[in-house]
Amino acid sequence: MPYARCGRFMVVHGGRITYQRLTPAIANGVRAAVATLIPFFLAAALGRAELAWMALGGWLGTLADPGGLRSTRARAVGTFAILGAVVLPLAERCGTSIWLATALLAVVAFGGTLARALGPAAATVGTMTAVVAAVGTARSGSPSYGVDALAFVGGALWATLLSSMVWPVSMHRPVRKALAAVFEAMGDYALALATSAETEEAGAHWSQLALTHHRRIRAAIEEALAIALSVRATSPGESALGADLRVLLGLAEAQFPRLVALGVELEGLAVSARPAATKEKLRSLATTYGAIQGSVLAPASERGNLQAGPPETAPAKTTAREAPHVATPASLLVDRLEVDSAHARAFARTLGAGATFAGERESGAGRGGRPSSAAFSVLADDAREVRDALSFQSVFFRHALRVAAAAAVASIIGHRIAVHPHWVTVTTLAVLQPYPGPTSTRAAERVVGTVLGSLVAALITISIHAPLALAAVMFPLSVAAVATRGRSYRLFTFFLTPVFVLIAERHPGDWWTAAARAGDSVVGGVIALLAALAVWPSWERTRLPDAIDRMVAAVTSYRDAVMASLELQGAERRAPIEPPIAAARRAAGIAIGEAETSLERWLAEPLRRAEQGETAMQLVTHARRLANACTTLDIRALHGVDDAAGREGYLRAIETYSQALAQRASILRG
């Protein structure tokens, strides 16, 4: 779930960067290809088999790199390199016995999966370490296991050197990426509203619009907030750019409720009654958000020269007396968003004035980062997290046992039936997820991607034999694999398979090797699916009611905060009540997103009850409608649009949705 633990989460709907330069995913792909293919080419050209381990270390080290802050990435890849150096020689020594290899793999898989309790980065490092153990056990009897371990560590460090020194990322780059994703998501929402403003009446379309865009924007804002906090916590001092980025994020978060209120207002009006020029203004708003996105991503030297979007000069703030056409809340909201976005754009063009990106690096993590006492505190916190997870009541502990058992079975079966037993085990480790639904989905994607990728690998193996030609063909495949990793697991597997077939083997074989890869992946996927269904299956249907309860409680608290604010007047109303309303609004948005994610996981499970899903979907819809009505009522009051008819309509809607929530929640819980 995106909001699982202490701000460390994965975003469900990440923004796609459209600025005209290499995107970060492509950059990571190029680095991965360089880190992998140079050692691979040298291994084949010089006949030095140990360099193949360096290529594998560079590849897995790139996959273990979580991105973000340099300190975070260095800890993750450094930990992976150390663990790989310990696990690989042990795996090679134990590979002479099936039972020793299986026991070692089970232990490593258990520990690596238990690391999931520390967050996504630790989970990735743990999985990659288990992969190293699986590959090492297949290299039984290697006389140079010490050299292999050193080569593997060298490959992982080579990948880190490329990403940190040769092709570095500035300290604030993660914040800028996350902030750009926020404005991109808001721009997409503005465009969707512009399209619907003149063509759609009230109906299911608007509910789908809110479900898609509200969730994406809220997730993007939460990601940006977490990354900004992490950057500030690891920086020894304040920087102009860091402060400006946080201010710009605050401006975006303030405009999000106005976009929500505008959507609700437009939905409630007939097409003929919607304000004139709404479509044009919303398209202009989307263009402004796009210009802000470009400014955030652009280097300081180029930021002031960007020309896309409306003029720099912010339009004068209008009132109903000065502009008679501003006669409805929708008109006022559009104009207010136009003014606020123009101010945000002007601010974005002067981000970090006087600060350079070189200065960022000099004043950032490179000058020491956290004090040593803070580092020990982090280690102590992580140790407590792992200790708390060591319980049969812990989801992490049960999943770790599930993965260890599945890995052991896969290892035994792989050694019995496969020429490359680690391919069976690696597939099982990659496919098995904490929940049966995602496991079945990933198993299908893995099998389809691997079979198609094996066909490509077979063609490469048959037609290309020269090391330089192989490296040239594998380069774009490596780039594509890393670039698509976070977007499509099927594509990632498709591009990964030819690379893995040619790198994991010291001597590329004939086309039967690719065929074996496809068959082994099918076997590994079946083992993972059976483990998810048979070993402590963690069904979403048992957690969905709890997620719904939290959503109902959060939305109800938000409603109560808004209703309490309406009883106050003037300055007395806004000063004491605005922070609680903003906090309650954020909590409601997060809870709705969690409930939607739980519902999606439930929909992926087999043998689900249709009536339970219908009730849950209705509850999520009612909760979002109630939150949107509360937001609109609050924004109207904030801007002084408090006409009796409109207010009465929203109060009736709030009462209706509140009653529906209470009734449906009791049905679902029963």
Same domain, 124 and 212: no
For the chain, counts of helices (H) and of strands (E) = 24, 0
Contact in structure between 246 and 620 (CB atoms under 8 Å): no
Distance CA 163, CA 322 (A): 55
Residue 404 pLDDT > 90, yes or no? yes
Residue 497 included in any domain = yes
Selection from 338, 357, 362 nearest residue 284 by Cα? 338
> Which residue has tokens 């069976």?
424
Alpha-carbon distance of 199 to 478, in angstroms, equals: 44
Evaluate if residue 122 carries a pLDDT over 50: yes
- CA-based nearest residue to 501, from 470, 479, 541: 470
What does the pLDDT look like over 405-421, one tens digit per residue?
999 999 999 888 887 78
Q: Which of 534, 566, 600 is the last residue of a domain?
A: 534
b or e along 415-454 (b: 16 or more beta carbons within 10 Å of the residue's beta carbon)?
Answer: beebebbbbbbbbbbbbbbbbbbbbbbbbebbbebbbbbb
What does DSSP assign to residue 237? S
Q: Is the pLDDT of residue 283 over 80?
A: yes
Instruction: Answer yes or no: is 16 within a domain.
Output: no
Number of domains the chain is built from: 3
Over 50: is that where the pLDDT of 34 sits?
yes
User: What average pLDDT does range 264-277 have in this prediction?
Assistant: 77
pLDDT at 526: 92
Residue 456 reports pLDDT greater than 50: yes
Using the predicted structure, report yes or no on whether residue 644 has a pLDDT greater than 70: no
Q: Is 70 exceeded by the pLDDT of residue 157?
A: yes
The answer on pLDDT for 669 being more than 70 is: no
pLDDT at 614 over 80: no
pLDDT at 41: 75
Does residue 464 sit in the same domain as residue 347? no
Strands (E), 429-554: none
Considering 157-171, 229-243, 471-485, 609-623, the range whose residues carry the highest mean pLDDT is 471-485
Q: How far apart (Å, rounded) are the C-alpha atoms in residues 276 and 282?
A: 11
In terms of domains, do 235 and 356 share one? Answer: yes
Percentage above 70 pLDDT, the chain: 74
The model's pLDDT over 83-106, given as tens digits with 9 standing for 90+, comes to 988 998 888 888 888 899 899 999
Asked whether residue 249 is assigned to any structural domain, the reply reads yes
pLDDT at 619 over 90: no
The confidence band for 402, taking pLDDT boundaries of 50, 70 and 90, is: very high
Does 401 or 488 have the greater pLDDT score? 401
| Average pLDDT of the chain to the nearest whole number | 75
For residues 156 and 284, state if they share a domain.
no
Q: What is the mean pLDDT of residues 28-33?
A: 76
Q: 562 and 421, same structural domain? A: no
655 and 520 in one domain?
A: no
Structural domain ending residue among the three candidates 505, 534, 563: 534
pTM greater than 0.75:
no
What pLDDT does residue 523 have?
92
Top pLDDT among 72 and 110 is at 110
pLDDT bin (cut points 50, 70, 90) of residue 401 is very high
Give me the percent of the chain exceeding a pLDDT of 90: 6
- Residue 203: pLDDT band by 50, 70, 90 thresholds? low
Among 207-211, 256-260, 599-603, 610-614, the minimum mean pLDDT is found in 610-614
Give Cα 236 distance to the centre of its chain: 27
Are residue 212 and residue 197 in the same domain, yes or no? yes
Q: What is the pLDDT of residue 39?
A: 80
Whether residue 610 sits in one domain with residue 514: no
Cα dist from 490 to 61, 210, 444, 449, 625, whole Å: 21, 28, 9, 5, 35
For the stretch 490-527, pLDDT in tens is 888 898 888 777 665 545 555 676 777 788 889 999 99
528 and 464, same structural domain?
Answer: yes
Q: How far is CA 215 from CA 3, 185, 502, in A?
A: 12, 10, 41
Residue entry with tokens 């480790």: 429
Q: Stretch 211-239: mean pLDDT, rounded?
A: 76
Q: Render pLDDT for 159-188 as a digit per residue (tens, 0 to 9).
A: 877 766 666 556 677 788 888 899 999 999
Domain end residue (candidates: 534, 565, 596): 534
53 within a domain of the structure (yes/no): yes
Please check whether residues 28 and 122 belong to one and the same domain: yes
Same domain, 282 and 303: yes
Tokens 């795996």, located at residue: 91
Question: Does residue 612 fall inside a structural domain?
Answer: yes
The reply to whether 209 and 325 lie within a common domain is yes
Is 373 inside any structural domain?
no
Q: Whole domain around residue 590: which residue ranges? A: 541-669
Other CB atoms closer than 10 Å to residue 463's CB: what's the count?
10
Residue 383 lies in a domain: no
| Residues contacting residue 454 through CB under 8 Å, at least 6 positions apart | 497, 501, 514, 515, 517, 518, 521
- Is residue 122 in a domain? yes
